[in-house]
């Protein structure tokens, strides 16, 4: 079964990107996540992109073809071991056309791989969404709906991670950044915000799955709260009753039970007969209020405590 992150990516690649501006923004982010440049004869540049996700490979291929300047080829390397995924290699052989493509995507210039050039790609809101989608497709991951909410973009350079963080912050998403194993992670931990982001990027089915899981979790918590509350009430009733029964036995052993006023004697006998009953139930059996029942039991307790003949 594919992971939830893979399912999200499979859904995201179906999001339509008709506008050229957005296609370039998405492609730029995708290539930043997983591409490397090669240098061929006459200093011509080439491009390699590797991914384990077939849908992502198709998306990069489609975007490169839409761009129209270069001719990509794909090869698949089959997984040699079980539980390992196939790898998809996209290769654009070194050619004079690669340089202008890289330049238009902001990947060349004074500082190769820097993201200062992405400002142009990120000017419009539509393009910023496409850029984030490309980044998620290239290096994003998200926990399955039953697990703790967590989504992250794994970038291999700080400037790129920082750009992602700025774009997300500009859209009011609460994000954090951390580093691990030479990579930078831009992460989100709020379930609702993650749903909003995935909806914006074009994965409504994934959002639905997250919603179902969230609702189930809420119902389960509610049931747990009710059960805990009932258990606590029951516990209180039982421990109060144990003390009352002890007090009544004390009065009885001292021969004081029969000397009680009739209403209190009646209550004492009823408590002995019904040790599990709540105050309301006792009150009901005697045709009095819960408060009156509580009052009589309190008096019985204090009589047992304070009687002169008491031996401790
Ligand atoms: Zn756009």
Domains and CATH numbers, the chain: 4-202 (3.10.28.10), 218-305 (no CATH)
Tell me 258's DSSP state.
Answer: G
For the stretch 112-170, pLDDT in tens is 444 555 677 888 889 999 999 999 999 999 999 999 999 999 998 888 899 999 999 99
Q: In what order do the strands lie in the sheet with 72-77?
A: 35-39, 45-51, 87-95, 72-77
Residue 47 Rama label (left phi>0; alpha psi -120 to 50; beta)? beta
Distance 158 CA to ligand 1 centre (A): 24
Sequence-distant (6+) residues with CB within 8 A of 19 are 126
Distance 132 CA to ligand 1 centre (A): 12
For the stretch 210-237, pLDDT in tens is 999 999 988 988 888 888 888 888 888 8
Mean pLDDT of the chain: 88
Give the confidence band of 109 by pLDDT, cuts at 50, 70, 90: low
Alpha-carbon dihedral 176, 180, 183, 185, rounded to 10 degrees: -20
Alpha-carbon distance 167 to 172, whole Å? 9
Q: Which residues surround ligand 1, an ion (CB under 5 A)?
A: 19, 21-22, 124, 126-127
pTM score, two decimals? 0.72
Sequence-distant (6+) residues with CB within 8 A of 200 are 129, 132, 171
Distance 201 CA to ligand 1 centre (A): 13
- Asked whether the beta carbons of 106 and 120 are under 8 A apart, the reply is yes
């Amino acid at each position: 079964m594919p992971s939830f992150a893979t399912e999200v990516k499979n859904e995201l690649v179906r999001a339509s990107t008709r506008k050229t501006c957005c296609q370039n923004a998405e492609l730029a982010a995708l290539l930043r996540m997983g591409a490397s440049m090669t240098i061929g004869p006459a200093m011509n540049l080439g491009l390699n992109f590797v991914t384990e996700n077939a849908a992502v490979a198709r998306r990069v291929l489609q975007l490169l073809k839409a761009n129209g300047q270069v001719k990509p080829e794909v090869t698949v390397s089959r997984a040699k071991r079980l539980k390992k995924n196939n790898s998809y290699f996209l290769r654009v052989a070194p050619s004079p056309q690669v340089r202008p493509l890289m330049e238009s995507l902001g990947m060349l210039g004074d500082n190769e791989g820097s993201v200062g050039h992405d400002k142009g790609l990120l000017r419009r809101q539509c393009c910023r969404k496409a850029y984030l989608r490309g980044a998620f497709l290239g290096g994003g991951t998200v926990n399955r709906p039953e697990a703790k909410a967590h989504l992250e973009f794994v970038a291999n350079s700080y400037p790129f991670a920082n750009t992602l963080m700025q774009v997300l912050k500009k859209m009011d998403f609460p994000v954090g950044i951390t580093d691990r194993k030479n990579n930078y992670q831009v992460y989100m931990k709020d379930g609702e915000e993650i749903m909003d982001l995935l909806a914006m990027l074009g994965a409504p089915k994934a959002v639905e799955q997250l919603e179902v899981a969230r609702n189930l979790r809420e119902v389960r918590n509610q049931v747990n709260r009710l059960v805990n509350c009932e258990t606590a009430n029951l516990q209180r009733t039982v421990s109060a009753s144990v003390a009352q029964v002890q007090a009544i036995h004390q009065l009885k052993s001292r021969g004081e039970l029969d000397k009680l006023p009739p209403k209190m004697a009646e209550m004492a006998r009823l408590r002995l007969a019904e040790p599990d009953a709540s105050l309301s139930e006792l009150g009901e059996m005697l045709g009095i209020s819960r408060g009156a029942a509580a009052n009589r039991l309190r008096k019985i307790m204090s009589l047992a405590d304070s009687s002169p003949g008491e031996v401790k």
